[in-house]
Chains A and B, each alone.
Chain A
């Protein structure tokens, strides 16, 4: 039972354009969401998070949007840069518990 889904295994975007990565979840108890970026041979690097009391959180070029009614979140990267090429994982958690549930990842390729 995959509680967190990233339905697009890969995405290619031109440098300077917007990258939109999507994530869906099924458990309505999740109230904390995160995005991580992973390069080969490295561990996941934290990018940005959002609590369910918000519907948007911004940090520089990265913005996460949360639509609770649709159980959907997305990560926007504007403008995309070649260094953004990596695998992106979304993760969800329930406040007061101890584990993250990860999606299967989306491989983003930013073309120069």
Chain B
């Protein structure tokens, strides 16, 4: 059974650029959640996808968008990057869209915006 994987590991972009981060969910899981973890903070919920549809969204602007594919892998897209977008982006998968259910995290993508 493979765990949650994310790519790339690190990424450096400049302000105004766009970025796409990728996530493969754990085998058998159909729900993917994305979180942003700024330095010294806990992860903050961005949104969740269940069977290719957005299932809920946190307090992030529309320039944060996502996709989920039929194989349950997922992408996070961020447009018009700002310096404050520099953070660790975490993807988590779970077996159902409704809690309580344990979410399993990938290793994260470290995004630096210059």
Chain A residues near B (Cβ < 8 Å): 4, 6, 31-32, 34, 36, 41-46, 49, 51, 89, 91, 93-105
**Whole-angstrom distance between the Cβ of B68 and the nearest chain A Cβ:** 13
Nearest opposing residue in chain A for B9, CB measure? A41
Nearest opposing residue in chain B for A105, CB measure? B42
Identify which of residues 16-42 in chain B touch chain A, using a CB-to-CB cut-off of 8 Å. 33, 35, 40-42
Q: Which residues of A contact B42 (CB under 8 A)?
A: 4, 6, 89, 91, 102-105
Cross-chain contact B106 with A97 (CB below 8 angstroms): no
**Whole-angstrom distance between the Cβ of B58 and the nearest chain A Cβ:** 6
Nearest opposing residue in chain B for A43, CB measure? B105
Identify which of residues 79-114 in chain B touch chain A, using a CB-to-CB cut-off of 8 Å. 90, 92, 97-100, 102-108
Q: Tell me if B74 is interfacial: C-beta within 8 Å of chain A.
A: no
Q: Which residues of A contact B92 (CB under 8 A)?
A: 43
Cross-chain contact A44 with B44 (CB below 8 angstroms): no
Cross-chain contact B106 with A96 (CB below 8 angstroms): no
Q: Tell me if B73 is interfacial: C-beta within 8 Å of chain A.
A: no
Cross-chain contact B100 with A46 (CB below 8 angstroms): no
Which of B44, B90, B99 is most buried by chain A, counting CB atoms within 10 A of its CB?
Answer: B99
Cross-chain contact A97 with B40 (CB below 8 angstroms): no
**Whole-angstrom distance between the Cβ of A109 and the nearest chain B Cβ:** 17
**Whole-angstrom distance between the Cβ of A49 and the nearest chain B Cβ:** 6
